[in-house]
Structure 1
Amino acid sequence: MVTSEQLEKLRGWFAGRLPEDVYERLLDVTVDREEITVVGRIPAPQLPEGAAAAEARAAARGRIQEFRERTRDARVAVTREAEERFGKKVSWGVECGGDRALFTHVAAPVMTRLRQPERQVLDTLVAGGVARSRSDALAWCVRLVQQHSDTWLTDLRDSLEHVQHVRAQGPDRAGPGEEPT
């Protein structure tokens, strides 16, 4: 888990390293064991007053695609430097006119052992056409939990950060039979 200070340093590095014309504003830098994801806001396209929602959404998608192609070289240069510096893959995303899109982000495999009742849940989702496989069904379940328990997960992450802070202030860890240094 990354501490808030480490995340602040990471955000600062990206804010300082990104060329001025890439994002209107840096929104999020998130990190886990495998990946750093950088998301920024880009300006929404100018549309005539009273434009239909479908037109606005299509225009935002077009702007996102244009941004992705136009900034590819700059993002690749920052990615190479960041991956070498931080030892993690870097993924990119944008927010435009209320739409959020991620580019080339990591889909990391996760292994787990499930008992029969848990497997039956996944198999029901597959049989019902909600998911194509047990793997897709498990990813669907994780997204559902994430969607419905954001506050709880945020509280848990804050608690873990506090635990790391307290550990960092404790005495140096000594092995069995050794004196702390």
Structure 2
Amino acid sequence: MITSEQTEKVRGWFAGRLPEDLFEELAEVTVDREEITVVGRIPEPRLAEDASATERTAAVQGRIQEFRERTREARMAVAREAEHGFGRKVSWGVLCGAERALFTHVAAPVMTRLRQPERRVLDTLVASGVARSRSEALAWCVRLVQRHEDDWLAELRASLEQVQRVRAQGPDATGA
């Protein structure tokens, strides 16, 4: 579990290291054991007020693609430094208006053992066409839980951080 202090350190580093004109705002920095995901806000394209929803969607997608291509070298230079310093891969994304787009990011394999009832759930998702494989079905299930249990997961993460703070103060803490 990554502590909020570790995340704050990474976020602070990116806030100080990113080129001043890269993003309008550093919106999110998410850290786990394998990856750091950096998401910044970029300006929306300027369109006529009577522009259709289709035109707005196409303009936003074009802006995101333009940003991705134009800033690739600068982002990769920062990513190399961060990967060396923090020992994690760096992934990028943007917010443009209401659209959130993630660029290439890590898909880390996770080994698990499931009993027959759990495997049957995954197999049902595959058989119904919801997922192409057990792996994809499991990822679908995780996203479903994440969507419906945000408050519960946030409370659980806060509890884990408290446990880590208490452990750090215990008799095995360094410097004691």
Q: Gaps (5+ residues) in structure 2?
A: none
What's the counterpart of residue 161 of structure 1? 161
Deviation of 1:172 after TM superposition, in Å, equals 2.1
What's the counterpart of residue 144 of structure 1? 144
**Counterpart secondary structure, 1:40:** strand
Check conservation: 2:167, 2:173, Cα contact below 8 A: no
Residues 129-155 of structure 1 show CA distances to partners (whole Å, capped at 9, x for unaligned) of 100011111110001110111111111
Q: Distance in 1 between matches of 2:6 and 2:36?
A: 12
Q: For the pair shown, which has the larger CA radius of gyration, 1 or 2?
A: 1
Deviation of 1:173 after TM superposition, in Å, equals 5.7
Distance 1:81 1:173, change over 3 A: closer
What's the counterpart of residue 82 of structure 2? 82
RMSD (Å) for aligned C-alpha atoms: 1.5
Q: Distance in 2 between matches of 1:92 and 1:173?
A: 35
User: 1:1-181 to 2 correspondence within 5 Å?
Assistant: 1-172=1-172
> Alignment identity in percent?
77
Q: Distance in 2 between matches of 1:115 and 1:16?
A: 47
Q: Distance in 2 between matches of 1:159 and 1:50?
A: 49
TM-score normalised per structure 1: 0.93
TM-score normalised per structure 2: 0.96
Distance 1:12 1:123, change over 3 A: same
Residues 106-162 of structure 1 show CA distances to partners (whole Å, capped at 9, x for unaligned) of 000011111111111111111111000111111100011101111111111111111
Runs of 4+ aligned structure 1 residues displaced above 4 Å come to none
